[in-house]
Amino acid sequence: MSVSTVSAHLRELTPEQQGEELLPVLPALSGLLPGGGLRRGSVVAVERPGLLCLMLAAGASAAGSWCAVVGMPQLGVLAAVDAGVDVSRLLLVPDPGSRWPQVAAALLEGCELVLLRPPARPSAQVARRLAAHARRGGGALVVVGGVAAFEGANLWLRAACPQWIGIGTGHGRLRGRRVQVVAGGRGSGARPRAQWWWLPGPDGAVAIAEQTGAEPAAVEPAGAGLAGAGLAGAGLAAAGLAAAEPIVPDLATADRVVRAEGTELVAIGQG
């Protein structure tokens, strides 16, 4: 997504999103986040490095904030640019070594959004201290690598059931990916919510995937198991659940999702 389109999206942000409390996010994300934006001083955990955490940074970056990325030497800068991150306001600390808590704390003083991939699982004390730094600096800390890895995260996000389109066996190329993004957390964000997204879409932009009707013509089912899970997601939507509603899966869906995702989502389904 080019910066101009992001700017265009940002102009459509509601006034409370632009307020002091919230960092702006891409419009697609606002439905998943409590309050419709990234609360300043909050800690967000993202399960895996990838486009999802870059997207979290994109809205704030396009709106003029500085972003720092700590401990991710393999960050794809081009993907970040495509997601809408302004590369002229991006700091990278690829290898913070053993002093990563201090590095992240120092960057939280200056940047409004810090993406951190801790080299080791942080102790509870370090996690508390970083959360305090985030609150004091008024920025947001996005911790990558395992939802459970960071205690005290206000919000967690994960992407599940990826389905690639545009690529076949020996022909085509990767064009877009439909993915189910699940969000949960504490307090106002405690109810797990899920949405199907284009991450990225066939036009390069991140958008909420339409859920009614058939799959887009270009879609080639990415595999039997995944296709099953994907169709289950589509069925969910067809059953009339709004995108940002908590998942109330029927048992069959839960079973399928669990197969693709492991045990954690079972808890979500039951909660």
**CA 14, CA 114: separation in Å to the nearest integer?**
24
Task: Please choose, out of 9-17, 25-33, 76-84, 247-255, the segment that lies near another protein by the rule CB under 8 A.
Answer: 76-84
Among 92, 231, 244, 266, binds another protein (CB under 8 A): 92
Residue 43: strand pairing partners: 141
Tokens of 43: 């800690």
Omega before 200 cis (within 30°)? Answer: yes
Q: How far apart are CA 129 and CA 152, in angstroms?
A: 10
Give the bridge partners for 22, in sequence order.
39
Q: Which stretch binds another protein (CB under 8 A): 35-43, 106-114, 119-127, 235-243?
A: 106-114
168 binds another protein (CB under 8 A): yes
Residue 251 has which token pair? Answer: 């048992």
**Binding region for another protein (CB under 8 A) out of 30-38, 86-94, 149-157, 238-246:** 86-94
The number of residues that bind another protein (CB under 8 A) is 61
120: which 2 tokens? 């080791």
Question: Of 223 and 271, which has the nearer Cβ to another protein?
Answer: 223
Residue 93 is a binding residue for another protein (CB under 8 A)? yes
How many CA atoms, within 13 angstroms, populate the side-chain half-sphere of residue 106? Answer: 9
CA distance 180 to 260: 12
How far apart are CB 260 and another protein at their closest, in Å? Answer: 8
**Considering the complex, what minimum distance in angstroms separates the CB of residue 35 from another protein?**
25
Binding site for another protein (CB under 8 A): 48-51, 54, 66, 68, 73-82, 86-97, 99, 102-103, 106-111, 161-164, 167-177, 200, 204, 220, 222-223, 225-226, 260
